[in-house]
Chains A and B, each alone.
Chain A
Amino acid sequence: MSDEAKTSLNRREFFSFLSVGWITFGAATAGMASLIFRFLYPNVVFEPAMDFVAGFSADYPDGVDERWKNGFGVWIYKKDGRLVAMSNICTHLGCIPTWLPAESKFKCPCHGSGYYPSGINFEGPAPRPLERFKIYRNPEGKIIVDKTKVFRYEKGEWNNDGAFIEV
């Protein structure tokens, strides 16, 4: 063989180089992807749990109760023998409305959407009422609010099982 032939690859060598290159690249990409995937499941989550124990229904007076708002983002609303858990996310663009006891309404500080205590929208641009969370009693009779299940008024879900508890 001459020296010239050494400097170029034949077909077989070219393909073996190519496969080594691709396998390396694929392995590196997969490793990177696995790191990203691991990143989605952190060891510690500094967020409130999606469900929580909210005490007994007798703890709540009629009307809007704010005790879980800062910890879990939930308002408890009791009226006409029904107790419901309301999301505190404005349905317009996701701000946090303020409960105004004097005016008896929720009012969003971002674009001025207003809601009745029941969560029905009446003011500003909010297109639909505040969402409600699943609420039920555990065997001890304590209230559990489960934020993974949402009930939407415009879909007619507020009378479904789990959207409220009788008190």
Chain B
Amino acid sequence: MIKEAINFLAAPVYSFSIFCGLFFLAMKRMDIVGTKKFGIGLLVFTLVTFAWMVADPIFFSIISLPDNIPIIILNALVIWSTWFALYKGHQNDLRIEAGESPLEGSPENREKVWAWPNLVYTELFAGIVCTVFLVVWAIFFKAPLEEPANPTWAPNPAKAPWYFLGLQEMLVYFDPWMAGVVLPGIIIVGLIAIPFIDVNPKGNGYFTFRERKFAISAFVFGWLALWVYLIQVGTFLRGPNWTFYGPFEVWDFHKVVAENNINLSEIVWIKFMNTSLPKNIFVREFFGVVAVFIYLFALVPLITKKWGKTYLEKMGAIRYYLMIFLVLSMMSLPIKMYLRWFFNLKYLVAMPEFELNL
């Protein structure tokens, strides 16, 4: 009964909404999230839930695939490091509020030590531990090798390496040009550009949350909700034919999901105007092009008026508009996901004639 409910709620439309809701709640209530009590509670809750889920044979068979074990480790590390950074930031926020210096700036922490031997020994030790871990892992879990490649056959489901499963999940909602080239390119260039765009000196050398609320929230949203979450879905919840399966659901090859995706042009011309699609593709895709332009350009002044004025003054126009462009590109992914879930929308602009689909 509970398992059925979890299977139901694990569907991307619900689990993504729940995840985003919890995320923004956490960002709002840092006074709760940033405490040790919350951390311990989260750890106990996660361990108990995980133990209960592992007891299920189907769930166990999914997570014990050799490909999937690193993602369990990734989850533990991501949850730990995210919470730890937020906890440290919250501690410092409380100190700053009380008029003290951040913990890292206290006299006993400002004491300087030599890189050799203090740092180098730690690094050497960490290197040895990692090597031992990898060797033991390689001995216990064999590499999941398959038969020689065959150009006329694909495994089902055909999954990318685990670190690319977020991208593969993104490809479900986008044209390969967008999700495979343009958006990853923007991600990489955007990450490189962060130090040039974000010139806020606060938080240099110490943890803080309150002093860089927007920067941290935006980055962690992109990282957790749009990358780590999608890796989870792609790894654990996508089965044969890339159909969605709940965590306690058998991977039934013949599970049928009613889905009939249509383009924006078909919704507008056929559903609303009751005519056939125009022959000229630019007339046909006019509304989609307009929608994309509104999103990328017309929205910017509105956003600036409502939230961006102080940022615009602080950062300068070029940095500010670059940041807005990066945020809008990032948000295009969840928007496209919701459009797909609610309206079965395939593409806003569909020009397969030019291999251009947005």
Seen from chain A, the residues whose Cβ lies within 8 Å of a Cβ on chain B are 47, 69-73, 88, 91-93, 95-96, 98, 100, 102-103, 107-112, 114, 122-125, 127-128, 154-155
Q: How many Å lie between the Cα of A112 and that of B245 in the bound state?
A: 13
Q: How many Å lie between the Cα of A155 and that of B171 in the bound state?
A: 24
Q: How many Å lie between the Cα of A141 and that of B175 in the bound state?
A: 41
B152 on the A face (CB < 8 A): yes
Q: A98: which B residues are within 8 A, CB to CB?
A: 154, 156, 241
A-B contact pairs, 18 of them (CB 8 A): A70-B150, A88-B152, A93-B176, A95-B158, A98-B156, A98-B241, A108-B241, A108-B242, A109-B157, A110-B157, A111-B168, A111-B172, A122-B260, A123-B260, A125-B172, A125-B346, A154-B352, A154-B353
B174 on the A face (CB < 8 A): yes
Question: Would you call the interface of chain A mostly helix, strand, loop, or mixed?
Answer: loop
Given A96-B154, A109-B240, 8 extra CB contacts under 8 A = A69-B152, A71-B152, A107-B241, A110-B242, A114-B259, A123-B261, A125-B174, A127-B347
6 closest A-B pairs (Cβ-Cβ)? A112-B242, A128-B352, A109-B156, A96-B154, A107-B241, A109-B158
Flag if A110 contacts B357 (CB, 8 Å): no
Seen from chain B, the residues whose Cβ lies within 8 Å of a Cβ on chain A are 150-158, 168, 171-176, 180, 240-243, 254, 256, 259-261, 346-347, 350, 352-353, 355, 357
Q: A91: which B residues are within 8 A, CB to CB?
A: 352
Q: How many Å lie between the Cα of A108 and that of B155 in the bound state?
A: 10
Q: How many Å lie between the Cα of A128 and that of B177 in the bound state?
A: 14
Flag if B172 contacts A124 (CB, 8 Å): yes
CB proximity of B267 to chain A, nearest CB, Å: 15
Q: Answer whether A110 and B152 are a contact pair too, CB < 8 Å, given A92-B171, A124-B259.
A: no
Flag if B152 contacts A111 (CB, 8 Å): no
Flag if B152 contacts A125 (CB, 8 Å): no
Q: Answer whether A127 and B352 are a contact pair too, CB < 8 Å, given A103-B254, A109-B240.
A: yes
Closest to A48 in B: B152
Q: Answer whether A93 and B171 are a contact pair too, CB < 8 Å, given A70-B152, A109-B158, A110-B154.
A: yes
Q: Answer whether A73 and B353 are a contact pair too, CB < 8 Å, given A98-B241, A125-B173.
A: no
Q: B176: which A residues are within 8 A, CB to CB?
A: 92-93
CB proximity of A104 to chain B, nearest CB, Å: 11
Q: A47: which B residues are within 8 A, CB to CB?
A: 151
Flag if B151 contacts A73 (CB, 8 Å): yes
Flag if B180 contacts A93 (CB, 8 Å): yes
